[in-house]
Every structure is written in structure tokens, then in C-alpha cells.
A and B are shown apart, each in its own frame.
Chain A
């Protein structure tokens, strides 16, 4: 026989916000960042992890022991990169991936707002693109004029 639900047990049905955003383990990077910013605004997650791992590493070293692999891996992955020399290939790969990945967040310049865009453009958006096209054409024709001088 199933047990009766206790007053302080969670309801099996999920919270509306959880339904809306899904489970964090499977969340896309962009949404996870958005929610993280809502929970801990201005907190650098890498710095927090590095601080915790560094504290643990100090304790291991005080006991004349090498920090275990998981501590070392966390330290390496979250260390502030000041020079590319002697950097582990995996870390270099992460940096290249981060630089080459398309930026999908909000942009200030409308010229960048149409990358990765899906669906039809409305007349307002089309107007902005036309205006930017005209500006670009003017710039180019200006460059041609300067070149002829």
C-alpha cells in the first residue's frame, strides 16, 4: 500500500519555474548562465571553484601530500591564464573553442543582431538592415573616392 504523503515531503509535481527551465544538468550554456546570474549576480564561478580547490590543496601540502587528481584538475582548469606559454594542450583547446564559438547573447550594435537569427524578418528589422547596408555602401564609395585622389 502506498504511504500517505508527509506534510514536509516535496510534491511529485515539479515547480512551475523548474518546468519552464528544465533540469540544470541538461541546460544549454546560455540558459544556465542566465539563471546563475539571477542567483549569484556578479560572482565569478571559476574564482569560487579555484578558491575552494586552492584551500584544499594547501591542506594537502601541509600534510606533505600531493593534491589528488581532482583537486589538481580543478586548479588547472580554473587558474587565471596570464600567459599561453607552458599551458596544457587541453586548456589551449578550451581557449580556442571559446574564441571561435559564435556569440549568441545580446549585442549593442544592431548589425550583429541578425547572426543566428531564425524565422522571418519583420519590416522594422528589414528597415534597420537596409539602413546599415546604405551606410556601408556610403563608406565604401567614400573609400573609393579617397583612393582615386
Chain B
């Protein structure tokens, strides 16, 4: 028996188009965009001035809202690549716009939510400082755990591509699954999640909308 076509009434003539969107894992898409946004934020600014996780959630929600409100899905077609990558670029641009705006509109020093930017060393750019801060913070958080310290050292040697666990495993003499478990252990350490999420520890208890 042939399976019934998975098409809604009124959409019969658009079967091909419907299937294009039905193959999309929307929950995964949201998660990928959020993780991507946090990466962009960390790369440009570093977790030194505001609640990055919260900011990224706003930006991703804004992009998805625009995507759904646009009758042609912001012009995305399969020929333009994966939707995750396409919307990832939109998230990237929106986040940078927001960062540029924040740079021009500074908050009051008396604001209890204000935290001073990281100490600026002469001759270094914001991304360079953020990178150094992340590295130093990671090493100091895993102090005493040699396995995790080795994991971070190994991460310095890889490119971080699609088969990163395999690359790290080769350096550490571990299976990709064991590497994944090590990462899980790393994220369980107090402060690492905040560092990853580009979020300040003190603000992590902020109530969510």
C-alpha cells in the first residue's frame, strides 16, 4: 500500500515546497543559531561587558520572527545552502549591528547593572583580549584536573572543524565519545558554562522572560 502524501488541505499543489520545509528540524535550527550567535559575540567582544546569552536569545528570536513574517522566508532556497547557515549569516549581521549600537550608547556608571570593560592592554584589539581572557579563564577554572587541562591544550592545536572530537581524540589518545564526555565534564565546572555563554556569573540568576 502506498503511504498517504503528507500534505495539508489547500496545499496539494505545493507538495514539493512543503516537503522542503518539513525536512527542517526547527528545534535544532534554533539551538544552532543560538550557539552560533554566542560564538560571534565571544569572537567580537568577549564576555566582559554584558549578558551575552540573553542578548543572543533576543537576536535569534528577532531573526526567526522576521523569517516567519516574510512570505518567502527571507528569500531562502535550497540552492542557497542550508537554512542554518543562511539564517546564521543574518544572525551574525544583526548581532554586529547591535554591538555597534551599544558601543555608541554607553550606560551610566551609577547603573547597578554596569560592569566595567576588561582592562585594556595597549596595542591589543577587543577580539584579541577576549581570546586571551577565555584561554586564561579556562585554564584557571580546570586547575588541578590534568585530563581537562590536556583537553584545553589539545584544543589549542586543532582547527575546530566538523570532526573536532576525532582530532582531539588522536592527540589525547581517546575515542571521540570519550572526548565528548570530557567536554561534558568541563561544562559541569562552575563558571565554564558562563564563560561559554558569554555571560557574567553574577547575572546568570537573572530571571528569564
Binding site for B on A (CB under 8 A): 5, 7-11, 13-36, 38-43, 45-46, 48-49, 52-53, 55-57, 59, 66, 68-74, 76-78, 88-90, 106, 116, 118-119
CB nearest to A73 among chain B residues? B21
| Interface membership of chain B positions 23-62, coded 1 if the CB is closer than 8 angstroms to chain A and 0 otherwise | 0111111111111101100111000000001001100010
Q: Is B134 an interface residue (CB 8 A)?
A: yes
Inter-chain contacts of A19 with B (CB < 8 A): 155-156, 158-160, 164
In the complex, A46→B183 CA distance in Å? Answer: 25
Chain B: minimal CB distance from A36 (Å)? 4
B80 interface residue (CB < 8 Å to A): no
Chain B residue at minimal CB-CB distance from A89: B6
- The answer to whether A15 touches B43, judged by C-beta atoms less than 8 angstroms apart, is yes
A-B contact count (CB 8 A): 203
How many of B's residues come within 8 Å of A, CB to CB?
81
Bound-state Cα–Cα, A56 to B66, Å: 9
- A8-B44, A74-B68 known; 19 other A-B pairs, CB under 8 Å? A11-B127, A11-B128, A17-B138, A17-B195, A18-B39, A25-B84, A26-B161, A28-B165, A36-B35, A40-B208, A56-B69, A57-B68, A59-B69, A78-B27, A88-B6, A89-B4, A89-B6, A90-B6, A106-B184
Q: 27 A-B residue contacts at CB 8 Å?
A: A10-B44, A11-B127, A16-B134, A16-B152, A17-B42, A19-B155, A23-B162, A24-B35, A31-B180, A35-B31, A38-B193, A39-B34, A39-B53, A39-B56, A39-B196, A46-B26, A52-B64, A55-B68, A56-B65, A59-B69, A69-B11, A69-B14, A69-B17, A71-B68, A77-B22, A89-B3, A118-B175
B residues in contact (CB < 8 Å) with A: 3-4, 6, 8, 10-11, 14, 17-18, 20-22, 24-36, 38-39, 42-44, 53, 56-57, 61, 64-65, 67-69, 71-73, 82, 84-85, 88, 125-128, 130-131, 134-135, 138, 151-152, 155-156, 158-162, 164-165, 168, 175, 177-178, 180, 183-184, 187, 192-193, 195-197, 199, 208
Q: Contacts A17-B134, A18-B39 known; A55 to B65 CB distance under 8 Å?
A: yes
Q: B27 near A46 (CB under 8 angstroms)? A: yes
Residue of B nearest to A55 (CB): B65
Do the beta carbons of B127 and A48 come within 8 Å of each other? no
Are A24 and B3 interface neighbours, CB within 8 A?
no
Main secondary structure of the interface of A (DSSP, over half): helix
CA distance A21 to B179 in the complex (A): 10
Q: Are A39 and B8 in contact (CB under 8 A)?
A: no
CB B151 to nearest CB in A, in angstroms, measures: 7
